[in-house]
């Protein structure tokens, strides 16, 4: 399996200039290849006897003309333009297979990056060696020192440079804990906290809400600067730095949370939320976006797949909040502002999110798992030792005490 380790670089002005030129060369090559591909395809539609455009012919054409027409390309690594054209080829493959939209031209200053293939760079400790520029310091060592290094992508984010090293590894140390994990957990997500069926409450960092005031001031200052001036570029970097800090805080919290949940639970149940429809509520749109429901599900998806565990997604219309986890009675009217409610049938007092987590845990045994231990909805089989755990979920729910006081 392939794993990526993203490491921050410590660069001086000379190295920063060289990395910027490499990224600019990759961007120019990508746009040039996209333009030539459109021209070749237009000629192919008029004369079908002509060959179809492809990345191999574009790479050969660029190599033939770059010494005369683009001599400045020779001052940077040759991997930058070649890998950019390969990326364009993959973009067309994704487009024709229906996985992505038609490729568009890249703009300067947005997602600046370039890739260096294996054999053209070297990593030793906290240093990486790139063609033409030599050794560059890194903030930390490579996480997989014994793994086979496939490629490295150098990218810029908020005026800082990072190296994303792709490694070919066997099994991580976390995979050894697959047999030990045999529990089932339900997770109810919210705009202020994530609540698990084991009683744990994970408070959201609310990074955007905390930085919203400073971000608003920085953007107001940017709007008063003359576009294209030196002060405009400086202020733009400040705005980008605030955005990067928000993303880093949110990403760090999500990775730590999802890693802990995926390792110690064999079956994880979450809700299928319509996030696109939820953000139409302009009163909660910022909080919903700050909660990162989609990223939480994406990380759980690939981490459980790596460990051999199961991620079960409940139906979008499953009434996890309105269903009593003690007697199973469904409440008809339960507004979002009501965080605690009393069951009209059994008079049990429920915390809204905790009750939803209980019901999601029971969903694994009631509607998605058959008696033989196969997931009917997901179409996958539970890991060894989990079938008995899932079969006893209903019995645990019948004896689980309900929340008796407001917090």
Strand partners, 113: 155
- Tokens coding 184: 């089932």
Pick the closest to residue 275 from 305, 261, 296, 302 (CA basis): 296
H-helix or E-strand spanning residue 114: strand 113-117
Evaluate the CA torsion angle 200, 201, 207, 210 in order and state its sign.
negative
Torsion of CA 201, 205, 206, 210, to 10 degrees: 140
- Tokens coding 20: 């910027």
Evaluate the CA torsion angle 93, 111, 82, 36 in order and state its sign.
positive
H-helix or E-strand spanning residue 111: none
Torsion of CA 240, 242, 246, 252, to 10 degrees: 80
Contact 212, 260 (CB under 8 A): no
How far are the Cα atoms of 145, 232, 267, 400 from residue 393, in angstroms, in the given order? 42, 59, 11, 10
Instruction: Give the pLDDT score at 140.
Output: 93
Sequence ranges of the domains in the chain: 2-168, 179-202+247-399
Contact 44, 52 (CB under 8 A): yes
Contact 375, 369 (CB under 8 A): yes
In sequence order, the 6+-apart residues with CB closer than 8 A to the CB of 240 are 157, 158, 159
Instruction: Give the pLDDT score at 400.
Output: 41
- Tokens coding 266: 């064999």
In sequence order, the 6+-apart residues with CB closer than 8 A to the CB of 72 are 25
| Run means of pLDDT, 10 residues per run, the chain, 407 residues | 90 94 95 93 87 89 93 93 94 92 92 92 92 94 88 92 90 49 82 90 92 95 94 93 94 93 90 87 88 92 88 87 84 81 83 88 67 38 44 43 32
Question: Distance between CA 123 and CA 104 in Å, rounded?
Answer: 33
Question: Distance between CA 54 and CA 239 in Å, rounded?
Answer: 39
Max Cα-Cα span within the chain: 83
Strands 267-271 and 310-314: parallel
- Tokens coding 5: 């380790």
The model's pTM is 0.78
DSSP letter, residue 369: B
Instruction: Give the pLDDT score at 147.
Output: 86
Pick the closest to residue 403 from 345, 332, 355 (CA basis): 355
- Tokens coding 221: 């200052």
Instruction: Give the pLDDT score at 131.
Output: 92
Instruction: Give the pLDDT score at 242.
Output: 95
Sheet-wide strand order for 193-196: 201-203, 193-196, 184-188, 267-271, 310-314
Instruction: Give the pLDDT score at 182.
Output: 60
């Amino acid at each position: 399996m392939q794993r990526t380790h993203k490491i921050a670089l410590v660069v001086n002005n000379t190295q920063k200039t060289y990395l910027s030129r490499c990224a600019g060369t990759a961007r120019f090559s990508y746009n040039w290849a996209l333009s030539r591909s459109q021209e070749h395809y237009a000629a192919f539609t008029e004369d079908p006897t002509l060959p179809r455009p492809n990345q191999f012919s574009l790479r050969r054409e660029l190599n033939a003309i770059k010494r005369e027409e683009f001599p400045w390309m020779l001052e940077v690594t040759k991997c930058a333009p070649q890998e950019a054209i390969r990326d364009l080829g993959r973009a067309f493959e994704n487009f024709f297979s229906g996985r992505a939209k038609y490729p568009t031209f890249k703009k300067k200053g947005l997602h600046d990056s370039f890739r260096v293939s294996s054999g053209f760079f070297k990593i030793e400790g906290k240093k990486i060696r790139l063609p033409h520029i030599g050794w560059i310091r890194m903030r930390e060592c490579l996480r997989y020192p014994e793994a086979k290094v496939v490629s490295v992508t150098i990218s810029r984010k908020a005026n800082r440079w990072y190296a994303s090293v792709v490694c070919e590894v066997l099994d991580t140390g976390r995979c050894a804990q697959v047999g030990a994990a045999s529990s089932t957990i339900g997770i109810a997500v919210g705009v202020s906290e994530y609540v698990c069926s084991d009683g744990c409450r994970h408070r959201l960092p609310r990074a955007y809400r905390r930085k919203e005031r400073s971000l608003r001031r920085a953007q107001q200052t940017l709007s008063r600067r003359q576009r294209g001036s030196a002060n405009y570029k400086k202020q733009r970097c400040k705005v980008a730095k605030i955005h990067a800090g928000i993303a880093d805080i949110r990403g760090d919290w999500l990775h730590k949370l999802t890693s802990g949940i995926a390792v110690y639970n064999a079956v994880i149940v979450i809700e299928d939320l319509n996030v696109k429809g939820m953000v139409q509520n302009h009163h909660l749109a910022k909080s919903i976006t700050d909660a990162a429901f989609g990223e939480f599900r994406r990380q759980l998806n690939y981490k459980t797949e790596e460990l051999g565990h199961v991620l079960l997604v409940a139906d979008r219309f499953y009434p996890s909040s309105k269903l009593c986890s003690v007697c199973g009675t469904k409440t008809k009217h339960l507004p979002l502002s009501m965080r605690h409610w009393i069951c009209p049938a059994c008079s049990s007092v429920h915390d809204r999110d905790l009750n939803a987590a209980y019901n999601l845990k029971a969903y694994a045994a009631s509607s998605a798992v058959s008696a033989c231990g196969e997931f009917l909805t997901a179409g996958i089989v539970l890991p060894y030792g989990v079938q008995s755990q899932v079969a006893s979920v209903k019995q645990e729910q019948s004896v689980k005490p309900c929340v008796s006081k407001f917090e």
